[in-house]
Amino acid sequence: MAQKELSKNLIDRLATLSGHLAGIGKMIDKGEDPVKIFTQMKAVENGLQKAIYLLLDDVFRKALAEKIVSSKEKCPGNCGYEDYIDQLFRQFPGINPEEVPSKLKAIQAIECHLKTILEND
């Protein structure tokens, strides 16, 4: 998904959720049935979860893919991380979206280490 399209999609989703939350506030003010309020809150929770996954899947996943490829190209074969980089490369298609941020953080640390190695050579 293109960056502008993703941004618009996320903004639209958040605006919808904001309106939904305002509606829940009105339900609470009116003293409506707690079960209905709970149901609406769960709908907001699910909508927010979808927005989070959209962001993780599109933005973070793309960044992870780029970092994995970059690290694979930069690792001289004895960088100490070649097995982990290869493992990430093989696992990438099936990585759970919730794992993407931690994997991205790990590969960024490896890239910093590789940069140091390459600068010293």
**Tens digit of pLDDT for each residue in 43-98?**
999 999 988 888 877 788 888 999 999 998 888 778 888 899 999 999 998 988 88
Q: How many CB atoms lie within 10 A of CB 57?
A: 14
Say what the pLDDT of residue 65 is: 92
Say what the pLDDT of residue 121 is: 63
Half-sphere exposure of 96 toward its Cβ, with a 13 Å CA cutoff?
3
Mean pLDDT to the nearest integer, 7-34: 94
Across the chain, mean pLDDT equals: 89
DSSP state at residue 121? -
Sign of torsion over alpha carbons 62, 63, 66, 67: negative
Say what the pLDDT of residue 79 is: 84
Tokens read off for 75 = 């690792």
Q: How many CB atoms lie within 10 A of CB 80?
A: 11
The pTM for the full model equals 0.62
Q: Looking at this protein, which amino acid is placed at residue 63?
A: A
Residues 6+ apart with CB under 8 A from 57: 97, 100
Percentage with pLDDT > 90 across the chain: 53
Walk me through the domains of the chain, giving residue ranges and CATH numbers. Answer: 3-120 (1.20.58.1000)
